[in-house]
Amino acid sequence: MSAKPNPLTTYDHAARAANFIRTRANADLSVGVVLGSGLGAFGDDLSQSVSIRYDEIPGFAQATVEGHAGRLVIGSAEGVTVAAMQGRFHFYEGYSLEDVTFPIRVLKLVGVHTLILTNAAGSLNTEFTPGSLMIISDHINLMGVNPLIGPNDERFGPRFPDLTSTYDPELQSIVIEEAKVLGLDMRRGVYAALSGPSYETPAEIHMVRTLGADAVGMSTVPEAIVARHMDMRVIGISCITNLAAGVSSRPVDHSQVIATGERVRSEFTELLKRVVKRLQ
């Protein structure tokens, strides 16, 4: 009886996807950007770009949420070649965290060493108003699961990665400096991730505020953990799109999230371009 072939690992699947991307866009990549709800305009502004639908890339899931175009755009921003994900996958869509973070694994294998994670977030801090931006200084994982659970592949990283400086302090300073030049309302704070898809209750928001969070959302943290597992440098930027439940008496609605993203579109895109230029 012949031996059964060994099943393909996540690394094998990621390498296959990376090779596919190289056949479509033969470029030296070092910077990756994940664009959250309503924040995809940066990808549209890349020059000499190649756009690849997620359903073309082996192993990629499908983005199902409004405001997530579902494309990987590779192009130039301020002379730097960037891989920009226009939309991400979420745990609440029914995907596993392995699916959610698979694109980050792939970006690493195509050469990305610095990752900019963006998201739309609700404010828990009354000083952070809709339309302002928050550089993520740290996070609190309240999703109830970790993307590194399961067998560890040393080709990606160590079994027990250190998350002391998940969001690179030097890169945080670059973002704040460039925001100041542009006159943007940029704050620094802690991001808490919950699973969603329902928005949090006022009691839950009270709990998260007590834990020390300034903003809350349903993404970013799994990607940041996996990026640091692979020794990538990480920047996290939240666009504050609404006040969280209990902070304001107004009901939270996804249309408000999209509308606020559209409102800050030009300023946010210009900030990313200036930051990317500093990452050469």
Give residue-wise pLDDT tens across range 149-204. 999 999 999 999 999 999 999 999 999 999 999 999 899 999 999 999 998 999 99
Question: Which of helix, strand or coil describes residue 21?
Answer: helix
Give the Cα separation of 220 and 254 in Å (integer): 18
Answer yes or no: is 92 within a domain. Answer: yes
Answer yes or no: is 20 within a domain. Answer: no
The strand pairing partners of 118, in sequence order, are: 237
**Least reliable range by pLDDT among 19-28, 36-45, 65-74, 267-276:** 65-74
CATH of the domain at 167: 3.40.50.1580
Answer yes or no: is 5 within a domain. Answer: no
* Highest-scoring range by mean pLDDT, 2-11, 21-30, 225-234: 225-234
**Catalytic residue annotation:** 37, 68, 90, 92-93, 120, 218-219, 242, 254
- Which CB contacts under 8 angstroms, 24+ apart, belong to 176-179? 176/135, 178/271, 178/274, 178/275, 178/278, 179/133, 179/135, 179/271
Residue 10, amino acid: T
Residue 236 backbone class (left: φ over 0; alpha: ψ -120 to 50; beta: rest) = beta
Q: What is the mean pLDDT of the chain?
A: 91
Q: If we measure between CA atoms, which residue out of 108, 30, 32, 100 comes closest to residue 64?
A: 100
Domain around 126: 27-149+160-278
Answer yes or no: is 11 within a domain. Answer: no
Look at residue 5 in the predicted model and tell me its pLDDT. Answer: 58
Answer yes or no: is 255 within a domain. Answer: yes
Residues with Cβ within 8 Å of 19's Cβ and at least 6 positions away in sequence, in order, are none
Position 1 pLDDT exceeds 50: no
Answer yes or no: is 55 within a domain. Answer: yes
Position 148 pLDDT exceeds 90: yes
Helical spans, DSSP H, in 90-215 = 97-109, 169-182, 202-211
Number of independent structural domains in the chain:
1
**Least reliable range by pLDDT among 50-64, 81-95, 129-143, 242-256:** 242-256
Answer yes or no: is 198 within a domain. Answer: yes
Answer yes or no: is 10 within a domain. Answer: no
pTM of the shown model:
0.93
For the segment 12-17, the average pLDDT, to the nearest whole number, is 97
